[in-house]
Every structure is written in structure tokens, then in C-alpha cells.
Amino acid sequence: MPHSQTVTDKVTDTDSDVLIIGCGLAGMTLALSLPPTLRITLLSKGAAHECASAWAQGGIAAVLDASDSIEAHVQDTLTAGAGLCDETAVRRILEQGPAAIEWLLGHDVPFTTEVNGQLHKLHLTREGGHSARRIAHAADRTGHAVHQRLLQACKLRKHITLLEHCTATDLLQDAQQRCIGAAVRHADGRVQQLRASHTALATGGMGQIYASTTTPTCATGDGIAMAWRAGCAVRDLEFMQFHPTALHIHGKAVGLISEALRGEGALLYLPKKDGNPGERFMLRHDPRAELAPRDIVSRAIDAEMRERHLPYVLLDITHQSREWLAHHFPGVMALCAAHGIDIATQAIPVAPCAHYTCGGVQAYVNGRTSMAGLWAIGEVARTGLHGANRLASNSLLECVVMGRAAAHAMAAQPLPKHCIIHSSKRNEPKGLSPITPLEMQQSLQQLMQQNVGIVRSNHSLITAAKQLVLWRAQWRAADHAVRNQLTLCSLMVDAALQRHVSAGAHYNLDWPALEEATA
């Protein structure tokens, strides 16, 4: 019988050796890599399968081919990150790529293979910004395949307690400001203090602060907000990556179209009046065309849409056979078919959407933060791997590498005793609020979409900053979720105003590009 514990079970023991907040790839990798002698509590905000990791389509970047090299992967990452990566962190993470894939294979992740002579080997695809084929994948549902296998493994471990539908609301600290756990709210409204010797944030990103996003509803940035309130350092929040190709139906994003399509030859076109592909446009914007890094492709699409008043552009892969598409992109085929689009014969309407948080809680590669007892791994962390713009498929790799490194670091430390709990810093006052939480969230999303999107200006950022000041005063009685998003929006806008160059995912019309400013 699986040992996992759901919210309907009675929770009597509030102490753990390790509390992991977040049940995505980073959190589960940490849980599975820790010694079985440790008591581990793994929290999931919703159902365990509802996370960004499970939604990932493309794959995991790692140097697995003899014609490729770690140095080439490093240089591709530094280029995509606009030179703002931490090169030491980049090398440490990318060097662990082959070991990370081996670890996942050890958990029976069903990566796509191909026959090479008499041998079966991993099929490697290519995505934008990569100079070689180095993306290991499970068709176009890599995240689902990985998450399913690791979740099964977690449920079978007797020392791992899985609590679903539990939302962490605040970090707990002792008198020395060491993190000693978190306060959580269960689905039935119970609030509980879960104490732990080590607390790991694996809460993912904050794409839900935008009206149009590819991220699941749980991606609200709670981990970043909680860490900041508790006095932890955060960095690079201005770098919100927009994915170039979200499926757009009736003016709304309804799903992600994997970048791997462009890696396999899909091209971007302007739509003609009859709806068919017209002019190909990416070569006007970058010599790498459709295989340029995501920030460049997103801005190019955005510019064409604005100039021509288009609701979307077209992504065309009809040069591939139906059988080939069904084998390599079954998920994309099914998503599009659900909206009446046959990708074997029709181009796909796409537009950019908020996708990935490049910044976050400042952390080392092993997840250690500026606060004793607190670790941050995966998208919630800012290691310096991504710089100003994430290179495609480096994120799942970061989750595995950080999870394993954090487990090693935790296991090497003696377990401190629990101490008296003190309140977190930066508590915000409460008062009356005139509108509902849903209305607040929608207002925030529209503000960020319009003023802090793919292209920004000093005027748009100052407009957003002024409105956020007003809302922080008016919405003091908002629930913790809205207050978290208010905090995150304010932190992002402040960071964007302080960045006096345009770099990667932060493009400000009033400041020169980084390469021009440093020339």
C-alpha cells in the first residue's frame, strides 16, 4: 500500500526532518534523494499532479552526444541569458546534465528512443538557442512522464508523507531568524504549524500574475513572497520570460505549443486575409530566425502583431507527415485537434504568453539561501543559471540537479533542534477591502499584462508602480494569496525600474540594449 497521506487523513505529528513545499520535479527529486532515515513531509498546493513540471512539453537539456560538448552548452546558455548568468553556477549545473538523465532513467522515465545501428539510444531534439541536438524528451509530454514516475516513487516511500491540497501561508522562524518550518492551510480551513529542521521551497514561478499565461493556477509565486516577507534575498524578478508560441483561440491562450516544433523545422508566418500562411518574418528580426532565443522570438512576434493589428501569427509544420507528427508531437496534435485544428494540414495560431520566472529567491546551486534552515530549488530559486532569459529545457535540468545537490547538503548536516516560533518579518497591516479576491487578482493581472509585459517603458512601469501603491493601501484586508501577488507585482516593477538597460526578457523602450550600454 502506498504510504502517501492526503488532506483527509488526520495529521497528528507536526514535526519533520525536512519539509518540502511544492510537489513538482524539484521537490520530488529532493524527497527521493534524501536518506530514508529522515522524516520528510511533501506539500502539494493542489492535487499532486497539478504543477508546472507536469505541464512541461519540450524536454531536458543535457550533453549526451559525442558531437556535443559541455562548453557549447555553457556558451549557448550564457548567450541566451544576455551575459547576465552566473557562469560558475551555469557550469556546475550543466556539468551534471548526463548524471541527471541517468538518475531519471533509474526511475524508469520513458524517454523517447531511436534505433542507431544495433542500439537503442535516446532521441535528442533541438530547441531555440541551442547549437546542437541535446534535448532528451518523452515525445512532447516530458514533464508528465517524469512527474508521473517520480510521484509513484514518492508514494511508495514510507518515510515520505504527501499532503495534498495544503497551502503554505508563512515561514516559521526562531529568535535567531532561522527557518524552522511553515504555517499551512488545509482544504478544510484548518491552519497548522509544520515544524522542520530543514525547509525547502519548491513552489515554482509566478506566471499567474499575468492575464495571459501558460502556467497552471498554482503558479502564484507564494514561495518567493513568503521568503521575502521573512527577510530572504530575492533577485532578477524583472526577467519574466514569455513563451513565443501559446495556442490562441478567440483571443485567449488555451495551451502551450512546444518550442521543439521549431526545433524540428516549424516556421512562423504572418496570416493572410484568408487565414492561410503568408509572409515568413523571423529573418527580419534575427539571423537565427525561428531558432533564436525565446525573448527575441517573443518580441518579434509581438512587434509584428502590434504593427499589423493581428491577434496572432501562424506556426506551420505541415511539411511533416501525419505519422511523424503523431509520433513526435501527440500532445500538441491532441491540443490543437480539441480546438478544430489539424496540424498536419493547418497552421497553428500562436502568440506569446507569460511562461517562466527567471529570477526568484537568491540561492546557491545546492539550494542554500541567505536564511539558515531555508532552501530554494527549481523555478522559485535564482541561481544565476538563466540570467536575463532562460535557455529552453534548462529548467527541468536545474530542478533535478538542485534537488539532488540540496539532498546531499542537507544529509551532511546535523539536524538542529526545533526552537520557539517567532513571527516573520515584513508583516503587512490589515484593514477593510472593497472588492472580492477574484476582482483583485484580475485587476492585478490586467495591470501587469498592459504595463509590465514583453515590451515596457519607464512610463508604463511608473504607472504600474503608482497603482500598486494605491492597491496596497486599499486591499490590506485581502487574503494571503492576493497579498502575495501584490507583493510580487511590486517587487517585479521595482526591479524593472532599477534595471537601466534592456536585456533578455526585460525590454524597456527607454533604455538601450545591454550590449550597446557596455560597448
Return the CATH number at 443.
1.20.58.100
Mean pLDDT of the 204-208 span: 96
Structural domain includes residue 2: no
Same domain, 234 and 376: yes
**If you search the block for the grid coordinates 497552471, which residue do you land on?**
216
Query: How far, in Å, are 22, 82, 185, 241, 258 from residue 298 at the CA level?
Result: 29, 15, 38, 9, 14
The number of beta carbons lying within 10 Å of the beta carbon of residue 494 is 15
Report the DSSP pairing between strands 313-316 and 348-357.
antiparallel
Average pLDDT for the chain: 91
Structural domain includes residue 171: yes
Structural domain includes residue 431: no
Query: How far, in Å, are 24, 30, 127 from residue 159 at the CA level?
Result: 18, 13, 39
Same domain, 235 and 255: no
Short-list 389, 388, 365, 385, CA closest to 377 = 365
Beta strands per DSSP E along 62-128: 113-116, 119-122, 124-125
For position 234, what pLDDT does the model report?
A: 97
Of the residues 293, 328, 353, the one at which a domain ends: 353
Residue 9 pLDDT greater than 70, yes or no = no
Residue 285: give its domain's CATH number: 3.90.700.10
Mean pLDDT of the 62-81 span: 97
Same domain, 154 and 303: no
Residue 309 pLDDT greater than 50, yes or no = yes
Structural domain includes residue 398: yes
CB 212 within 8 A of CB 300: no
User: Would you place residue 516 in the very low, low, confident or very high pLDDT band (cuts 50, 70, 90)?
Assistant: low
For position 421, what pLDDT does the model report?
A: 65
Least confident range of 4-13, 100-109, 112-121, 340-349: 4-13
Residue 159 pLDDT greater than 50, yes or no = yes
Residue 519 pLDDT greater than 70, yes or no = no
Report the DSSP pairing between strands 113-116 and 119-122.
antiparallel
User: Would you place residue 7 in the very low, low, confident or very high pLDDT band (cuts 50, 70, 90)?
Assistant: very low
- C-alpha count within 13 angstroms, C-beta hemisphere, residue 10: 1
Mean pLDDT of the 376-380 span: 98
Alpha helices (H) along 95-180: 97-106, 142-156
Question: What is the identity of the amino acid at 322?
Answer: R
Residue 110 pLDDT greater than 80, yes or no = yes
CB 259 within 8 A of CB 245: yes
3-state secondary structure at position 187:
coil
- Cα–Cα distance for residue pair 15/32, rounded to 1 Å: 19
Question: What is the identity of the amino acid at 236?
Answer: D
For position 518, what pLDDT does the model report?
A: 62
Structural domain includes residue 474: yes
The pLDDT tens digits for 326-350 are 999 999 999 999 999 999 999 999 9
For residues 160-169, one letter each, b for 16 or more C-beta atoms within 10 angstroms of the residue's C-beta and e for the rest, the string is bbbbbbbbbb
Question: What is the identity of the amino acid at 414?
Answer: P
Least confident range of 209-218, 220-229, 377-386, 492-501: 209-218
Same domain, 140 and 184: yes
CB 485 within 8 A of CB 273: no
Same domain, 229 and 368: yes
- Structural domain span for residue 262: 244-353
- Cα–Cα distance for residue pair 195/172, rounded to 1 Å: 8
Same domain, 132 and 91: yes
Same domain, 279 and 402: no
Structural domain includes residue 251: yes
- Cα–Cα distance for residue pair 200/369, rounded to 1 Å: 10
Report the DSSP pairing between strands 160-163 and 40-43.
parallel
Report the DSSP pairing between strands 374-376 and 191-201.
parallel
Single pTM value for the model: 0.91
Short-list 343, 348, 349, 350, CA closest to 326 = 343
Q: Active-site residues: which are they?
A: 294
Same domain, 31 and 90: yes
User: Would you place residue 424 in the very low, low, confident or very high pLDDT band (cuts 50, 70, 90)?
Assistant: low
Same domain, 334 and 224: no
CB 211 within 8 A of CB 203: no
- Domain total in the chain: 3
3-state secondary structure at position 44:
coil
Residue 101: give its domain's CATH number: 3.50.50.60
Residue 291 pLDDT greater than 80, yes or no = yes
Mean pLDDT of the 168-184 span: 95
Structural domain includes residue 232: yes
Same domain, 209 and 128: yes
Residue 228 pLDDT greater than 80, yes or no = yes
CB 252 within 8 A of CB 312: no
Structural domain includes residue 125: yes
Mean pLDDT of the 7-36 span: 82
The pLDDT tens digits for 256-269 are 999 889 989 999 99
Same domain, 230 and 249: no
Same domain, 251 and 392: no
Of the residues 353, 369, 392, the one at which a domain ends: 353
